[in-house]
């Protein structure tokens, strides 16, 4: 068995690849040119999280069902940890400056502070800082 940590590759369908690339670049995600072309763009979110943005027609070649409209229905929330409450707020400032939306108010549970956003295609994301364990 390998000692490499398990990775996650998040694949999202996008309508406008250039707009989505600009959005995630503005958030500070590191572009990965190795897996980027005119149909797809790759970003390293961390050492173990990769984001793949695929033009909808290209995304459709990997599935055998219709692509859902993330602007109309929720299917998943992609949640990222953050090192501090201030970093959560800084991320959301970048999101809003890049044209993203914040669909809900910030939530403070005491042990966890989180804020949510929608990317240009309506995919739901959360950024959260956890201070400890829930009571």
Taking only the tens of pLDDT, the chain with its 135 residues reads 568 889 999 999 999 999 999 999 999 999 999 999 999 999 999 999 999 999 999 999 999 999 999 999 998 999 999 999 999 999 999 999 999 999 999 999 999 999 999 999 999 999 999 986 655
The model's pTM is: 0.89
Task: Enter the DSSP assignment of 101.
Answer: B
> At the topology level of CATH, where does 1-62 sit?
2,3-Dihydroxybiphenyl 1,2-Dioxygenase; domain 1 (3.10.180)
How far apart, in whole angstroms, are the C-alpha atoms of residue 88 and residue 55?
29
Delimit the domains of the chain by residue range: 1-62, 71-135
Kindly give, in sequence order, each residue whose CB lies less than 8 Å from that of residue 120, ignoring residues fewer than 6 positions away: 14, 15, 16, 19, 20, 23, 99, 100
Could you name the CATH architecture of 71-135?
Roll (3.10)
């Amino acid at each position: 068995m390998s000692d490499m940590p398990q990775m996650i590759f998040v694949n999202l369908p996008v309508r406008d690849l250039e707009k989505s690339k600009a959005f995630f670049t503005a958030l500070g995600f590191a572009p990965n040119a190795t897996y980027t072309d005119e149909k797809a763009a790759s970003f390293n979110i961390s050492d173990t999280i990769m984001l793949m943005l695929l033009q909808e027609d290209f995304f459709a070649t990997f599935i055998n069902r219709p692509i859902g409209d993330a602007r109309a229905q929720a299917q998943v929330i992609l949640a990222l940890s953050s090192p501090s409450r201030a970093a959560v707020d800084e991320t959301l400032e970048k999101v809003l400056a890049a044209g993203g939306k914040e669909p809900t108010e910030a939530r403070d549970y005491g042990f966890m502070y989180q804020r949510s956003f929608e990317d240009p295609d309506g995919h739901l994301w959360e950024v959260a800082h956890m201070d400890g364990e829930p009571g």
